[in-house]
Structure 1
Amino acid sequence: HLYKATQGDVKTLDSADMIFYNGVHLEGKMTGIFEMMSKDKPTIAVTEAFKENQLRKVSASEHDPHVWFDVKLWIVAAEAVEKELIANDPDHEAEFRENYEEYALQLEELDKYVQYEINKIPKDQRVLVTAHDAFGYYGQSYGLDVRGLQGINTLSEYGSKDVTDMRNYLVKNKIKAIFIESSVPRKAIEAVIQGAGKQGHNVEIGGELFSDAMGEKGTEEGTYIGMVRHNTDTIVRALK
């Protein structure tokens, strides 16, 4: 949400034949660069293919951009990529279709895996508490009550009342684990844990989740499928 493109980034984008990005205002300050690039080359927000009712509304004028946490929606995004590739490079249509169909099958299996694993968590413990509200689509699709200390944007600030309210919620509902995120400082979560401890309720850090970023290149978590599996396994292990 906060990232500002460097000259090197602009040069890399300028050298591309096509550009795909998420959209729904996820990219913040980079949106203007994409608009500029669209004058010279195909520049596509994959979420443009989504219907209004597929997007999670968080205010009268704002949608949640973290669509990739519903694997079924990411299949829609992958199909949008396939169609744009075919439209701009029709000579390779057969290859694009084959690759999409193969990947869509992998994503369908992933979707089933996530639901199967989440179902292992006792129903009264299916509460996912994180630093910012990145997992709304995940909770909506797979049956978790998701609560973030901050809003959907890491630009938003949390205050002492947010910490207190979250602490009280954890104590009242006997929630035993909350999660830090790879792209958000852990200070706020640690404040909630300390507050709950003073109330006599022990809360543990259930692990680190990937929210607005994947893992390092070359690792399992550095792929979309690996990242979703890692998050799911971490959540289930802590809450089960």
Structure 2
Amino acid sequence: MKKTLLYFSALCAAFFSQTATAAPKSYPYKVVTTVGMITDIVHNVAGDKAVVDGLIGEGIDPHLYKPTRKDLIALKGADIIFYNGLMLEGKMTDVLVKLASRKPIFAVTEGIEEQEGYVLSDESQHYDPHVWMDVQGWIAATAVVAESLSEYDPKNAAYYEKNAAAYIQQLRKLDAYASEVLATIPEQQRYLVTAHDAFNYLGRAYGIEVKGIQGLSTESEAGVRDIELLVDFLVANQIPAVFVETSVSDKNVRALIEGAEAKGHKLEIGGSLFSDAMGTTGTYEGTYIGMIDHNATTIANALGGQAPAQGLNGKLTPSD
């Protein structure tokens, strides 16, 4: 898997060298992105110089997503494309490789995989693509977007750099908030159990042990024995809550609750977390900052910590 990614990155780099002179023919130019978290970065950095079209919206799992005919038309019509990389968009790889000979395509995780020890992987050496769960990782991605747009449209480089700096300032505030509220969780309860392994970067960054029922990709299946072992862990450690994800079925999480109940331990659903997709477009949770604010606030309060109900900026939608 790692070799595949490195090959793809090298292939795109080789193709892009042939189109390095590409530049906007008019404004706003068209940017196409894959997941919403990237769409949000590009909106903030590109400003009014570009129209941004995100392909994978709220509640949709990018691990299983196959590009539609409409997506293919959008990708072919794009002036520039941004994707996550680290094999998140595995089913789009062939399309991106073909397009890389004709237009600039950038992975926002470019360079991150070269930082020794930063990129996580599972026992099978599959990359963990969920870098956005660590705000510092998404700060690095924002810098990549600004640099890439400046390379594509050099006459507006100062504009992109200014926008990126303003956005990164907000992200640093978000990072500090997540660190602060998650640190209030009692040490013996700092266990985050969710549907799949999307939160390992969050766990490493903010000091929480993470356990996913499924693996890094939702294509993996959880066996009965996996559920049983996790139930035993939850009961033994008296963990108060587990979490569902907005883009993943809650079937396995419900199985944990039923298994814990059978052993005399009441396990609550601590809330619904945004993992591979943000909230509804047009809402605060439909932004990257709102997504992470929601997750950090929800996790802290459900596991015995303290966080303001409306989050960092007082904008979170009240829970039912």
Band of TM-score, shorter chain: over 0.9
State the percentage of identical aligned residues.
48
The aligned length equals 240
Letter in 2 for 1:236: A
1:8 aligns with 2:80: no
- Written as runs of structure 1 = structure 2, the 5 A alignment for 1:21-100 is 21-50=83-112, 51-59=115-123, 61-100=125-164
Over 3 Å counting, the alpha-carbon distance change for 1:48 and 1:59 in structure 2 is: farther
Tell me which residue corresponds to 1:151.
Answer: 215
1:138 aligns with 2:138: no
Aligned mates of 2:125, 2:116 — CA distance in 1: 12
Which sections of structure 1, spanning at least 5 residues, go unmatched? none
Residue 61 of structure 1 and its aligned partner are, at CA, apart by 3.1
Aligned mates of 1:114, 1:215 — CA distance in 2: 18
Aligned mates of 2:217, 2:189 — CA distance in 1: 26
Q: Which has the higher contact order (CA 8 A, sep 6+)?
A: 2
Letter in 1 for 2:211: R
Aligned mates of 1:60, 1:44 — CA distance in 2: 26
Tell me which residue corresponds to 1:181.
Answer: 245
Which sections of structure 2, spanning at least 5 residues, go unmatched? 1-62, 305-320
Aligned mates of 1:52, 1:5 — CA distance in 2: 32
Aligned mates of 2:173, 2:240 — CA distance in 1: 30
- Written as runs of structure 1 = structure 2, the 5 A alignment for 1:147-226 is 147-226=211-290
Instruction: Give per-residue Cα distances to partners, 1:157-215, cap 9 Å, x unaligned.
Output: 01110110011000000001000000111111111100100100000000000111101
SS in 1 for 2:213: strand
Tell me which residue corresponds to 2:297.
Answer: 233
Match among 67, 70, 81 for residue 19 of structure 1:
81
Residue 59 of structure 1 and its aligned partner are, at CA, apart by 3.0
Aligned mates of 1:108, 1:93 — CA distance in 2: 22
CA RMSD of the aligned region, Å? 0.9
Q: Which has the higher helix share?
A: 1
Runs of 4+ in 1 over 2 A off after TM superposition: none
Residue 60 of structure 1 and its aligned partner are, at CA, apart by 5.2
